[in-house]
Chain A
Amino acid sequence: NAGVMQNPRHLVRRRGQEARLRCSPMKGHSHVYWYRQLPEEGLKFMVYLQKENIIDESGMPKERFSAEFPKEGPSILRIQQVVRGDSAAYFCASSPDGGYGYTFGSGTRLTVV
């Protein structure tokens, strides 16, 4: 039973480009969460999704960031027109029932140059 799979592990983008981060939850998990960890900081909640629905996006920046979790395929976190301040580690987690028992992926480290 594979864990939460995130890809790519490392992503380098130039300022102004788009970044797409993918997350495949654990088998049987239909709840996905995205967190961001800026350097020297803890993880900050961004968005909580179930299949085809955004449940809570209170942690998402209002512009340039979007997330989806389609019926088929992985969850996608999309960052348009990236800026240097978007450089961070982005972690995805999943759970079977929306409870606190998250399983985290290994993260995607985004570097904006």
Chain B
Amino acid sequence: DQQVKQNSPSLSVQEGRISILNCDYTNSMFDYFLWYKKYPAEGPTFLISISSIKDKNEDGRFTVFLNKSAKHLSLHIVPSQPGDSAVYFCAARAGANNLFFGTGTRLTVIP
């Protein structure tokens, strides 16, 4: 039962343009959402998060948008840089200790 879904396994974007990574969820009890970035042979690194009581959180080039009615969130990266090339995981928490992760989207930023 995949409660967090990332339907795009991969995304390619030109350097300098906007990258938009999408994530859908099914559990309305999720109260916190996070994005992690993962390079090969490394563990996931926390990138940005958003509480369910907000609809937007911005940190530098990264902005996360939450649409609770649609059970959808997205990560915007602008401008995209080659160093942003990685796998991005969406994750959600339902007030407990564990996170539910999506299957990831591999972002490739083309110089």
Q: Which of A's residues lie within 8 Å of B, judged by CB?
A: 4, 6, 31, 33, 35, 40-45, 48, 55-56, 58-59, 91, 93, 98, 100-107
Contact = CB atoms under 8 A, between A and B. Distances in A.
Given A43-B44, A58-B98, 6 more contacts: A31-B97, A42-B102, A42-B104, A43-B89, A56-B96, A101-B46
A45 B99 contact: yes
Interface residues of B, number: 25
B17 to A, nearest CB: 26
Contacts, number: 57
A40 to B, nearest CB: 7
B74 interface: no
B43 A107 contact: yes
A91 B44 contact: yes
B49 A100 contact: yes
A67 B46 CA distance: 24
